[in-house]
Amino acid sequence: MRPKVLVTRRIPENGLELLREHFDVEVWEDEREIPREVLLERVRDVDALVTMVSERIDAELMDSAPKLRMVANYAVGYDNIDVEEATRRGIYVTNTPDVLTNATADFAWALLLATARRLVEADAFTRSGEWKRRGVAWHPLMFLGRDVYGKTIGIVGLGRIGKAIARRAGGFGMRILYNSRTRKPEAEKELGAEFRSLEGLLRESDFVVLAVPLTEETYHLINEERLRLMKRTAILVNIARGKVVDTKALVKALKEGWIAGAGLDVYEEEPYYNGELFAMENVVLAPHIGSATHGAREGMAELVAVNLIAFKNGEIPPTLVNR
Ligand code: DGY
């Protein structure tokens, strides 16, 4: 009998095709996420799972899945998985690094530029007919935004994605500051990046981009006290995890003008709605789509399959995260 894999959302076909060559594959076809009670039921006889960041893979789930031997997360982040508990039970956990690095770094820049140059506001102004109604063809003071070229970017978290964001900053002639748990001398040399304490980085940067994983240490890393350190002209970009920022403090900061704007792809709860935040013109919001390009998502699907096939062949999966 072929091992059974449950894939908790439809992923690109290239990955499913590969998986079908080796496994008995069940795919949850609904666009919405699999209800928790259904998931707990469906995992009873599976050998492996392909999971999304929106599913909590914890001891309760593992208790419901006595045959489970591997969880392949369709994401680079794996804060949704209790890896320690999985390791204790001998369950492999894998993620999808590298294949989404450039897409996610591009998206950080899309948010940064869109926020700095007020692109969403300008789009609404143009397509609503407001421009035509006002009858002002061109005005020297219309939609003035923030300069990007030559400014200072502060990157919090200099992993793969943080470095890719920094590389792009080189093309914008920026001074690059970074903060991470440890100093990265090689990256400093390659990127010309300067290490700062988090507080120092927040004080000096015109753009602060969050690229850290969510851990106990990074939960609400950007809180009221730290937001108050940022320049009043600065923009915060979050492509990491929503819980890295204390949303209440961020809303206050934006409302009271402690910072100039924010570009957000991730939220404390997802899907997310916050009337107060969403009414603000100085924010650009996306529904957690940092890695959403055809190439990245197909790369992720392939990597998930490659990991599972290695596991089936008795090999160590290439992007194992258990320690
Ligand atoms: C990730 O990979 O961690 C993203 O947040 C989901 O694609």
pLDDT of residue 244: 98
CA–centroid distance, 135 to ligand 1, in Å, is 44
Judge if the beta carbon of residue 97 lies within 6 A of ligand 1: no
Is residue 154 domain-shared with residue 279, that is, in the same domain? Answer: yes
**Measured from the CB, is residue 236 less than 6 Å from ligand 1?**
no
The string of pLDDT tens digits covering residues 227-279 is 999 999 999 999 999 999 999 999 999 999 999 999 999 999 999 999 999 99
User: How many angstroms does the Cα of residue 240 sit away from the middle of ligand 1?
Assistant: 8
Are 110 and 221 in a shared domain?
Answer: yes
CA 77 to centroid of ligand 1, rounded, Å: 6
**Are 53 and 184 in a shared domain?**
no
The pLDDT > 90 percentage for the chain reads 99
SS3 51: strand
DSSP summary character for residue 153: E
Closest approach atom of ligand 1 to CA 75 = 2
For the cut 90, the answer to whether the pLDDT of residue 1 exceeds it is: no
Mean of pLDDT over the chain: 98
318 in a structural domain: no
Domain containing 243: what range?
Answer: 101-285
Domains: count for the chain: 2
321 part of a folded domain: no
**107-114 mean pLDDT:** 99
pLDDT for position 97: 98
Q: Beta-carbon neighbour count of residue 279 at 10 Å?
A: 8
Give yes or no for residue 291 CB within 6 A of ligand 1.
Answer: yes
Indicate if 159 and 176 belong to the same structural domain.
yes
Rg, Å, the chain Cα set: 22
pLDDT 10s digits, 169-205: 999 999 999 999 999 999 999 999 999 999 999 999 9
The single-letter code of the amino acid at 12 is P
Query: 249 and 304 share a domain?
Result: no
Rounded to whole angstroms, the Cα distance separating 218 from 5 reads 32
Q: Looking at residues 283-307, what average pLDDT do you find?
A: 98
Atom of ligand 1 nearest to the CA of 78: 3
**138/248 same-domain check:** yes
Residue 63: band (very low, low, confident or very high) from pLDDT cuts 50, 70, 90 = very high
Residue 157 has pLDDT above 90, yes or no: yes
Is residue 323 one of the residues assigned to a domain?
no
- 240 and 108: one domain? yes
Q: What ipTM does the predicted assembly reach?
A: 0.95
| CATH code (residue 58) | 3.40.50.720
* Residues 257, 122 within the same domain: yes
Please identify which of the residues 226, 241, 297, 302 carries the catalytic annotation. Answer: 241
Sheet containing 175-179, strands listed edge to edge, beginning at the edge strand earlier in sequence: 193-195, 175-179, 152-156, 207-210, 235-238, 261-264, 283-285
- DSSP-derived letter for residue 149 is T
User: Per the annotation, where are the binding residues for NADP(+)?
Assistant: 158-161, 180-182, 239-241, 288-290
For 263, the enclosing helix (H) or strand (E) is strand 261-264
Residue with the smallest CA separation from ligand 1 atom 3 is: 77
120 and 87 in a common domain: no
φ and ψ at residue 284, rounded to 5 degrees: -120, 130
Residue 322 placed within a domain:
no
